[in-house]
Structure 1
Amino acid sequence: MTENTTNSGRSTVRLDVKLTGETSDAIPVVLIGSLGSDRSMWEEQIGPLSEKWPLIAVDLRGHGASPVPDGPYSMPALAADVLATLDNLRVRRAHIVGLSLGGAIAQQIALDAPERVTSLTLVSTAAKFGEEQTWRDKAATVRSEGTKALADTVAHNWFTPTFGEAGAFAEYEAMVSSCPDEGYAACCEALAEFDSRRRLGEISAPTLVISAADDPSTPPDVVRVLADGIPGARLESVSPAAHLVNVEQAAVVNQLLADHFTAAV
């Protein structure tokens, strides 16, 4: 495992990334994904958006091709990993986009390093993700039974039935099943502790919040808390779509992202 140490003294993990659109001199876009995913969940964004912006799609600590240190993890540590990645790439500022767990990490980045955030986009995410014990129980289940025990349920929460049955359920069940057990479990523990509700008013970046009308994981009323709490935030609801709205309604989400990035500079 490759580790770095930030100026704050926090040990970070060198994340595996996919870089596209590097010839553009626009401000880069960082794509931070969901619990149990890898960076391929952003493929529908990478092609269209890289025509105008450099894109940095990351595999989180414990996910995809990134190292898998023992848990528990914390949201500040996951955010520090992303910031260290930007340091390594010599990226001073970026448009930060996060979905679900990635949205929590994006909030943490906006709070810990506001000077690094040109714009913030929070997709299918929350200021607090349910009850702490639920996440600790899920972590225990994954450590004892593996991610395969949850993969079918997770994939069926990510898409509406019509979209999922066309192939997405099978594809993303395989993705979740391939997520390292310790990485998934340790990120569950980070979600158990995360609660940004009292700090939303501190977020100063231009913020777009996107909810999916049919999302059982982060329903629209949960997502709305972010838009209500972040000064000047804009809320957009997309339908029909479940949790991975960026996949199910890619064209709609891509246009929302492009408009937001353009308006923020």
Structure 2
Amino acid sequence: MNILDTGDIHIHWREDGDPAGAPVVFANSLGTDLRMWDMLIPLLPQSLRLIRYDKRGHGLTSCPPGPYSMGALIRDAEKLIEALGVKDCVFVGLSIGGLIAQGLAVKRLDLVRAMVLSNTAAKIGTRQMWEDRIGAIRANGIEAIADGIMERWFARPFRATPEMQGYRNMLTRQPVEGYTGCAAAIAGTDFITPTSGLTLPTLAIAGSEDGATPPDLVRETADLVKGARFHLIRGAGHLPPIEKPEEYAKVLTEFLASIGHG
């Protein structure tokens, strides 16, 4: 188990592949931990340095009192990357991880040479929507909204599998304070203007059945970044690295090769 003390929180992180390889950093979605990438990592070139972590309030990372700001989530990623001696990484962010990717790219282009914006947007939902969800969770717990989240996360065939229950458990076992803290960060984030100024190599990935960040929303965000590519994974919901890991790995590997990363 790898734990980084940043001074205000302890971040749980994991590294696979080659420690001397070209670095790829993964940031996962709201309500998941770094195991979200378990199906994907073995399918990627093991010559890469594959780094993933639990954001604050999730998994084995500290859960300080909320609400959190997006700036704090970006600083957490920044401190981890610096502590690991990483420069010029490709940052793969899914959902809230994609917001972290955009914010980090705007702030620290010395750390990020390219980004993958997966199932995300420059602005996700409305403040009122997030405040309503935070209120429902504080009143009744994550369990009360879990079935609705599963419908947004996964296409119907995957929801019929035993594996889906494991991810439902992952969601409901996240700390309420961590989930609502990160939800508040999403509620307060609008990166449309800063993201529109980015020019680094970018791949946007969407799932055709994604009920949280539909393909059109992901495509609109890709269109903000000059030269960004867009790929639609059919038959996948909000978490295609879980439902369609082979296609996700292929698209990601081809993108990395096209920019000479690794």
Q: Normalising to structure 1: TM-score of the pair?
A: 0.93
Q: CA offsets, 1:147-183, max 9 Å, x none?
A: 2222222122111111221223311110101111100
**Preserved contact between residue 15 and residue 82 of structure 1 (Cα < 8 Å):** no
- Which runs of no fewer than 5 residues in structure 1 stay unpaired? 6-11
Q: What is the CA–CA distance in structure 2 between the aligned matches of 1:89 and 1:26, rounded to whole Å?
A: 13
Preserved contact between residue 25 and residue 91 of structure 2 (Cα < 8 Å)? yes
The offset of 1:198, in angstroms, is 1.5
Q: Distance in 2 between matches of 1:134 and 1:201?
A: 24
Q: Which AA in structure 1 matches 2:28?
A: G
Secondary structure, in 3 states, of the residue corresponding to 1:15?
strand
2-side partners of 1:2 and 1:138: how far apart? 31
- Output the amino acid matched with 1:72: P
Q: Is the 8 A contact 1:14 1:81 kept in 2?
A: no
Task: Provide the residue aligned with 2:36 in structure 1.
Answer: 41
Tell me if structure 2 keeps the 8 A contact 1:2–1:67: no
Residue 80 of structure 1 aligns with an amino acid whose one-letter code is R
Selected match of 1:22 from 18, 21, 25:
18
Shift of 1:189: 0.4
Gaps of 5+ in 2: none
Q: Please state how far the C-alpha of 1:2 moved relative to its aligned partner.
A: 7.7
Tell me what 2:9 maps to. 13
Q: Is the 8 A contact 2:4 2:80 kept in 1?
A: no
**2:216 matches 1:221:** yes
Decide whether aligned partners of structure 1 residues 2 and 89 sit closer, same or farther in structure 2, where only a CA change above 3 A counts: closer
Please report how far the alpha carbon of residue 204 of structure 1 lies from its aligned counterpart in structure 2 after TM superposition: 2.5
In 2, Cα distance between equivalents of 1:248 and 1:130: 23
Give the counterpart letter for 1:49 in structure 2. Answer: L
1:104-140 Cα distance to aligned partner (Å, 9 max, x none):
1111111111121121001110111111011112122
Contact 2:34 2:53 in 1 (8 A): yes
2:165 maps to 1:163: no
Q: CA deviation at 1:50?
A: 5.2
- Matched residue, 1:244: 239
Question: How far, CA to CA, are the matches of 2:56 and 2:86 in structure 1?
Answer: 20
d(CA) in 1 for partners of 2:117, 2:179: 21
Aligned-CA RMSD value: 1.6
Task: Find the aligned partners of 1:212 and 1:171 in 2 and give their Cα distance.
Answer: 20
1:28 CA displacement: 0.9
TM-score, length of structure 2 as denominator length: 0.94
Q: For the structure 1 residues 139 and 2, does the alpha-carbon distance in structure 2 shift closer, same or farther, using more than 3 Å as the test?
A: farther
Distance across 2 between alignment mates of 1:84 and 1:222? 30
Note if contact 1:114-1:204 (Cα within 8 Å) is conserved in structure 2: no
Matches within 5 A, 1:100-111: 100-111=95-106
* CA apart distance, 1:73: 0.7
**Is the partner of 1:78 in helix, strand or coil?**
helix
* 2:205 corresponding residue in structure 1: 210
Q: Is the 8 A contact 2:57 2:179 kept in 1?
A: yes
Alignment: residue pair count: 258
The answer to whether the 8 Å contact 2:45/2:253 transfers is no
